[in-house]
Amino acid sequence: MHRKLGVVVAVTVVAAALLATAGLASRSSTTTRKALPSGPVNLTMWWWGQQEAAGATDWLKQTVTLYEKKHPNVKIKTVLQTTDGLIPAFKAAAAAKKGPDIQYFWGGIWSLDDAWQGNTKAISDYIPKSELAHYINAKEDTYEGKVWTAPWYVQPSFPVLYRKDVLAKAGVTPPRTWGALLKACDTLNAKGITPLAGGVKDGWFGGWLFAIIGAQGITSISDVLDATTGKAKFTDPKLAAYWTRLQELRDHKCWNDDINSQDLYTAQQAMVQGKAAMTVSAGSDVKKFVKSVGVAKLGVMAMPKWGNGPYAGKLGSTSQTVGITAWTKNPEWSADFIMYMHSPERMASWFKTTGAFPADTRFNTKLITLPQQKILFGLVKNGSPYLENFIPPELDAKAYFAQAQLLLGGNTDAPQAAAATEKVAQRIRLTQRKMMANFKKWSATYK
């Protein structure tokens, strides 16, 4: 009897071991190999990210080399896109149904807009649920139960970086509240120091400002979604307050005088050079600034708090993503490469190279050693939704980019900017009928 029991136990243990092995194998990227079509495979990946995660180019090159070594039948070509060209280039490729197999997308609507257009395949059709469950912020890329693009790295959106030495010299403590920020602007200006360095020439910073300042006045993401769909208005106090705050920054001369003729990345250098006390940076890029300024001199914080809403004083959290194009002949291989990017060794290498947090719960957070990154990680762990990902790109560009340029240049005021935003939203509801229908369905999932 004991012998029989022993055999049963032994068989069970072996079976369990085999199952466990199979289970483990299914977690790794190579486990899908059995399902992967054979034969030579050529993949093209259009991506963006070196601009906000310095070192990403080297990491991707290395990752491709390692993957090709592992799968000699696969060749991957990567093409780095410019910030202004990322979206139009992909839209043109989509129109021709020819171009990349793997495409980079910002999160939220930036990813879903192409899903709605039929330009991407749902990533959740190719990546197992158990794997996707680890990907951080995948919810914002989810529509009708499917995840459309796979989070790659987290974008803490967007921290204020400050020069401890410059502020101390001016007798200013890092401002944590709105009132303190405006007061700091007055003090720093009196001492000939630019309080905040920024640039809106290329527009994008206007969207950032809306997200990091505007989010503080709303009670939930629905406020923005409702205004977009027409259930509420962008002139409603919760949303219009953003423009008032921005006008306050302008009136207190918080920004560099050439904010309208500088792009953001160039303008940030004034903080590095010590000419400005603070700037706003991509959270994924903080390591670069620490290297340039010095660990002891650089501070990190969220945009000073002004509202009482749930997102006030918090940092936005989004993930930059990659998706599989609708026309690719190799969706399985594309998905396998994306999963390989999430392998523990690659994630550790990504963080070491770029300093940006991989968008994966399996990332070994013990690797975070820089104090600035620790603060950032803490902020992003309790982060809020990133507002810019919840408005149509056309509204972002025609209202939030454009009106920020006009307001900061002294050519409009807060009420006019809010009214102009509402007008653009109304127009988009008229011209982007298909997109708005999908947007409404998507926004319903945030109720």
Partner 1 sequence: MTSDTVVLPPPRRRSRFRPGRLEPFLWIAPALAIVVFVFGYSMIALGRTSLRYEGKWTTENFHVTWSDPTFRTAIGHNARLLLAVPILVATSLLLSILLFEGLRGWRFHRWALFLPYVLAIPVIGVVFGQLLQFNGLVNQILRALGLGALAQDWLGQPRWALWTMTGVIVWRELGFGIVLFLARLLSVPSDIFEAGRMDGARFFRLHRRITIPQLSGVIVFYVVIEAITMVSWVFNYVYVMTNGQGGPGDATQVTELYIYQTAFQYQSPEIASAAAATLFVVTLGFIVAFFHIQRRSGIGIDE
Sites of contact with partner 1 (CB under 8 A): 84, 87-88, 91-92, 95, 113, 117, 200-203, 257-263, 393-394, 397-398, 401-403, 405-406, 409, 411-412, 423, 427, 430-432, 434-435
What is d(CA 206, CA 346) in angstroms, rounded to the nearest whole number? Answer: 34
The answer for residues whose C-beta is within 8 angstroms of residue 326's C-beta and 6 or more apart is: 94, 97, 118, 119, 120, 121
Q: Report, in Å, the least distance between residue 432 CB and partner 1.
A: 7
Number of H helices, E strands in the chain: 20, 13
Closer residue to partner 1 in complex, CB, 36/259: 259
Q: Report, in Å, the least distance between residue 426 CB and partner 1.
A: 11
What is d(CA 365, CA 371) in angstroms, rounded to the nearest whole number? Answer: 13
Closer residue to partner 1 in complex, CB, 203/283: 203
Q: Report, in Å, the least distance between residue 107 CB and partner 1.
A: 18
Q: Report, in Å, the least distance between residue 280 CB and partner 1.
A: 18
Closer residue to partner 1 in complex, CB, 202/332: 202
Q: Report, in Å, the least distance between residue 279 CB and partner 1.
A: 16
Are the CB atoms for 167 and 304 separated by under 8 Å? no
Q: Report, in Å, the least distance between residue 405 CB and partner 1.
A: 4
3-state secondary structure of 442: helix
What is d(CA 209, CA 217) in angstroms, rounded to the nearest whole number? Answer: 13
Q: Are strands 384-385 and 74-80 parallel, antiparallel or unpaired?
A: unpaired
What is the residue type of 276? A
Are the CB atoms for 154 and 350 separated by under 8 Å? no
Q: Report, in Å, the least distance between residue 185 CB and partner 1.
A: 19
What is d(CA 34, CA 30) in angstroms, rounded to the nearest whole number? Answer: 8
In angstroms, what CA-CA distances link 343 with 14, 54, 112, 180, 360? 27, 20, 25, 44, 10
What is d(CA 401, CA 416) in angstroms, rounded to the nearest whole number? Answer: 14
Q: Report, in Å, the least distance between residue 431 CB and partner 1.
A: 6
The answer for residues whose C-beta is within 8 angstroms of residue 103's C-beta and 6 or more apart is: 45, 46, 47, 90, 114, 120, 322, 323, 324, 325
Closer residue to partner 1 in complex, CB, 325/330: 325
Closer residue to partner 1 in complex, CB, 15/437: 437
What is d(CA 443, CA 339) in angstroms, rounded to the nearest whole number? Answer: 29
Closer residue to partner 1 in complex, CB, 427/440: 427
3-state secondary structure of 248: helix
Q: Report, in Å, the least distance between residue 250 CB and partner 1.
A: 13
Closer residue to partner 1 in complex, CB, 230/393: 393
Closer residue to partner 1 in complex, CB, 90/126: 90
Question: Which has the closest alpha carbon to 317: 395, 254, 389?
Answer: 389
What residues does 324 pair with on adjacent strands?
Answer: 102, 121
Q: Are strands 74-80 and 41-47 parallel, antiparallel or unpaired?
A: parallel
Q: Report, in Å, the least distance between residue 275 CB and partner 1.
A: 11
Q: Report, in Å, the least distance between residue 97 CB and partner 1.
A: 14
Closer residue to partner 1 in complex, CB, 83/222: 83
What is d(CA 113, CA 137) in angstroms, rounded to the nearest whole number? Answer: 17
Closer residue to partner 1 in complex, CB, 178/439: 439
Closer residue to partner 1 in complex, CB, 344/415: 415
